[in-house]
Structure 1
Amino acid sequence: MKAVHFGAGNIGRGFIGYLLYKSNYEITFVDIFDKVVEDINKYKKYTVITLSTSSNKEEVENVKAVNLKDSAYLEKEVLEADLITTSLGLNNLKSTGELLREFLKKRSKVSKKALDIIACENALFATDVLKRAILDKTDEKFQEYLEKYVGFPNCAVDRIVPNVDIEKELPIDVAVEDFYEWDIEKNKIKVNNNIKGAEYVEKLDPYLERKLFLLNGAHATIAYLGYLKKYKFIHEAIKDEEIKKVIVGFHKEAVQALSIKHKIDINILKEYSNKLLKRFENKYLKDDVTRVGRDPVRKLSSNDRLVTPLKLCYNLKIDFNDILYGIAAGYLFDYKNDGKAQEIQKIIKNDGTSKAISNISQIREGEYLNSMIVNKYKELKS
């Protein structure tokens, strides 16, 4: 089986590529950065280093890479692939879909081999976003080909892969936490139904929102509050009594909402919550708060990890005070080396906090939730 993975960063190598290698796939990474591509083709292997109380190292071998700009080579790989995956950020899926569209049109004329395309991103239903980009401005015949031969399962991915400073034998070695989870929509798979370490599920929505709220939302909240209190790492920030109290409260609010919406046993969600709290405390990860908090424009958007659980709690008439802390702290995240953070600060300076919330989180000025976020913002700022 052949896999093409777009995005040769830490998640691509340390999580998706790692599991595909263990499942006996031939892996070709696709990336825009020349140095990464050159190093992968030079060494043809890398080591995945698990960061926990007992260090563990596993080699991923026989890998290769192609530069995104090398369209002829990339086309050949796509035409032969059994699986295409991505980990390159939600904002890059549209352009990736436009690129894949042309390759898949050629594939439709020369091959009837089944293929699955899975976007492994920190977002809800990312594969659907990629699929829409591929389908855009296409004819009925091509759409029929995709329907018959190409699977587009959504998935939920979960593994912390920090930019930790550790000794590496090769520049492309990658450090990861010991926990991972990859949940894939079972009923949309065409052929790749035996990836080791992946779980194939009938209904993905609960897994996506559980991960987005309890991991990503709480993680971002730790980062933003930790930044305000001048902590460097996540494991330091979560040990702060005030921050931990907020995170426990965030989880309590989100757990209650998820349990009601998806009819999940609340004890199962509490168990997942407890595991996450321990993961946040993993000092071996040395996960920088500015890395976790980066790009607050995306993290504070209307359908992402903080505003989505806020709206759900509001609609279900559940308390959301601690979720508000995460959002308000996000608007106070003014890290100078984060261009997106500076975009928000510019709006706040020129037009006010309420306007920034309206623009970024799509909660209009004058609405109740907008006012609540502004009040919490003022509380944290003072």
Structure 2
Amino acid sequence: MKAVHFGAGNIGRGFIGYLLSKSEYNLTFVDISDFLVDSINKYKEYTVITLSTSENKEQVKGVDAINIKDVAALEKAVIEADLITMSIGAPNLKSTGSLLKAMLEKRMKVSQKKVDIIACENAIMATDILKTAIVEDMDKAFIEYLDNYVGFPNSAVDRIVPNVNIEKELPIDVAVEDFYEWDIEKNKVKVNTEIFGAEYVEMLDPYLERKLFLLNGAHATTAYLGYIKGYNYIHEAIKDEYIRNVVINFHKEAVEALSKKHGIDIELLTAYSEKLIRRFENQYLQDEVFRVGRDPIRKLASNDRLITPLVLCKELGISSTNIVTGIAAGLLFDYKDDPKAQEVQEIIKNKSIQDAITEVCGLAKDNVLVEEIVSKYNELKAMR
């Protein structure tokens, strides 16, 4: 079985590529970085270092890579693949879908072999976004081909892969936490039903939102509050009494909302929440608040990890004080080396905090939540 994975970064190598290798796929990475592509082709292997109370090392062997600019080689790989996955960042899904469209057209003409395409991103229903870009403006014959031969399962992915400074034998070795979860929509899979470490589920929505709210949302909140209080690492920030209380209560708000929406047992969600707090405490990850908080424009967007649970709580009549705190803290994230953070600060400086909430978070100015965020923003600003 042949797998092609777009994105040879830390997540690609340390999570998806790692599991595909353990599933005994012949694995080819695709990336725009000459360094990563050349290094993978030079060494043909790398080590995944699991960081916990003790280090565990596993080798991923027999891999190769293609530069995304090498259209001929990429087209051949796509035509021959049994599985295509990607961890490229949600904003790149549409452009990658447009790229895949032409290659799948050629595949349709020369192969009747089935393939699954899975986007592994921190976004709700990311594969659907990719598929929409692929089918846009295409004819009936192509869409029928996709329906019959190409699976587009959505997935929820969860593994922290920090830029930790540890000794590596090869430049492409990667460090990861000891926890991972990959949930895949079972009913949309055409071929790849036995990926090692993946769980195939009937209903993905609860898993996606559980992860987005309780991991991504609370993680970002920890980072933004940690930044305000001058911490460098997540494990330091989560030990701060104020930050810890906000994050725990963020979880309580989100847990109640998830339980009401999806009918999930609160005890199960609470157990997951407690496990996440322990993951945030993992000092061996040396996970920087700047890494977790970067790109607040994406993380504060209307369909992402902070605004989505806020709006759900509002709809269900659930208190969202601590989620509001995370959003307000994100609006104060002014890290100078993050261009997206600086864009937010320019809106606040040249217009107003209300304008920033409207433009970045997608909340109308007359929304009562805006007033709550502004109030908390001013409160946190005074703490600096």
TM exceeding 0.5: yes
Partners of 2:196 and 2:65 in 1: CA distance: 22
Range moving further from structure 2, 170-179 or 359-368 = 359-368
Match in the other structure for 1:88: 88
Could you tell me which runs of 5 or more consecutive residues in structure 2 were left unpaired when the two chains were aligned.
none
Identity, in percent, stands at 69
Partners of 1:159 and 1:137 in 2: CA distance: 36
* Letter of the 2:277 counterpart: L
Could you tell me which runs of 5 or more consecutive residues in structure 1 were left unpaired when the two chains were aligned.
none
Match in the other structure for 2:137: 137
Where does 1:169-248 land on structure 2 (aligned, <5 Å)? Answer: 169-248=169-248
- 1:164 is the counterpart of 2:164: yes
* Letter of the 2:24 counterpart: N
User: Displacement of 1:367 after TM fit?
Assistant: 1.4
* Letter of the 1:183 counterpart: D
Partners of 2:322 and 2:165 in 1: CA distance: 32
Match in the other structure for 1:377: 377
User: Displacement of 1:213 after TM fit?
Assistant: 0.2
Match in the other structure for 2:116: 116
* Letter of the 1:14 counterpart: G
Partners of 1:94 and 1:256 in 2: CA distance: 34
Question: Residue 284 of structure 1 aligns to a residue in which SS?
Answer: helix
Match in the other structure for 1:25: 25
Where does 1:1-382 land on structure 2 (aligned, <5 Å)? Answer: 1-382=1-382
* Letter of the 1:251 counterpart: H
User: Displacement of 1:366 after TM fit?
Assistant: 2.1
Q: Deviations over 1:38-61 (max 9, x none)?
A: 000000000000000011000000
Partners of 2:52 and 2:163 in 1: CA distance: 15
User: Displacement of 1:137 after TM fit?
Assistant: 1.0
Partners of 2:257 and 2:149 in 1: CA distance: 38
User: Displacement of 1:234 after TM fit?
Assistant: 0.1
User: Displacement of 1:176 after TM fit?
Assistant: 0.1
User: Displacement of 1:306 after TM fit?
Assistant: 0.2
* Letter of the 1:205 counterpart: D
Question: Residue 4 of structure 2 aligns to a residue in which SS?
Answer: strand
User: Displacement of 1:373 after TM fit?
Assistant: 0.6
User: Displacement of 1:365 after TM fit?
Assistant: 1.0
Question: Residue 267 of structure 1 aligns to a residue in which SS?
Answer: helix
* Letter of the 1:192 counterpart: N
CA RMSD after TM alignment: 0.4
Partners of 1:325 and 1:127 in 2: CA distance: 31
Question: Residue 284 of structure 2 aligns to a residue in which SS?
Answer: coil
Partners of 1:144 and 1:196 in 2: CA distance: 30
Partners of 1:38 and 1:99 in 2: CA distance: 22
